[in-house]
A and B are shown apart, each in its own frame.
Chain A
């Protein structure tokens, strides 16, 4: 053919096709299921077992005692997202499901405070149980021995 320009047909068809790029900044996008993003802490479910701090490889979890009285202690737990590896060990090991890794991936900040997740939880102090009299204990032991 006289007018056999290379790629003309391809170029013309591609001009009217949808772009193969992600349309992210112009259209909102959701993360894939089970994506591990920004941490959400439910302070009301926490029982302060401290397991999440122990399993955290990056040392991202810190506790600060805010207030204390005779009945309870109030703590603030901070998750530093700049130290986090998003391995989800803290949420996996939490028996009360107090820590949740959501699909929110908008994790940028101009200050360090923008990337801190904070939550408060209370620990109720146990009242000391009255001990049984030592004499009674000794008696019971003697009975068993007999």
Chain B
């Protein structure tokens, strides 16, 4: 009975989970700036989740170092489907200046399907908001596809 209501509400309020995969902290600060009152992504429905099991969108920052690779992949696996993976900043998408380093194990797209790339070093909060909006749209589409296939969301 409440399924439709819950689905509609969930589409308007995706929860974020943030993973730092060896970031320099630049992108992390920008993500915090997006969630705190100056840019306040919560007024648009985005909310930071405390655990990956509650999350819809995973935001990965940092170049994916060899030490953290397995942990990041395990955390992403814990996020229930439908999920959306967003790379924030240049590092997780390509490695940026760290790409020739011996501890670099990326890019992230080598291991999982990345849905949205947000460029910038570090990404501007407006750009992050835009990327999250795109991710929310993709998530809504994935939800519909999953429902049409007969899956339970």
Partner-B contacts on A (CB < 8 A): 20-22, 24-25, 29, 31, 35, 37, 57-59, 80-86, 105-110, 112, 114-115
Contact = CB atoms under 8 A, between A and B. Distances in A.
Point out which of A31, A37, A80, A108 has the most chain B C-beta atoms below 10 A from its C-beta: A108
Interface in B88-121: 90, 93-97, 99, 109, 115-121
Contacts of B138: 110
A107 B40 contact: no
Interface string B57-79: 00000000000000000000000
A22 to B, nearest CB: 5
A86 B123 CA distance: 10
B130 interface: yes
Nearest to B43: A21
Point out which of A81, A82, A83 has the most chain B C-beta atoms below 10 A from its C-beta: A82
Given A20-B37, A21-B37, A24-B126, A80 B94 contact: yes
19 contacts: A21-B38, A21-B43, A22-B39, A22-B40, A25-B44, A25-B133, A35-B124, A37-B124, A58-B90, A58-B94, A58-B97, A80-B94, A81-B90, A82-B117, A84-B121, A86-B120, A105-B124, A110-B116, A112-B93
Nearest to A57: B97
A88 to B, nearest CB: 11
Given A82-B117, A86-B120, A21 B39 contact: yes
B129 interface: yes
Contacts of B95: 83
B20 interface: no
Given A24-B126, A25-B44, A82-B90, A107 B120 contact: yes
A129 B125 CA distance: 56
B13 interface: no
Q: How large is the interface on B (under 10, 10 to 19, 20 to 34, 35 or more residues)?
A: 20 to 34
Given A21-B39, A109-B116, A110-B116, A85 B121 contact: yes
A25 B132 CA distance: 12
B23 interface: no
A83 B37 contact: no
10 closest A-B pairs by beta carbon, nearest first, are A107-B119, A82-B93, A108-B131, A83-B94, A81-B119, A85-B121, A82-B94, A21-B40, A105-B124, A57-B97
A11 B123 CA distance: 35
A85 B97 contact: yes
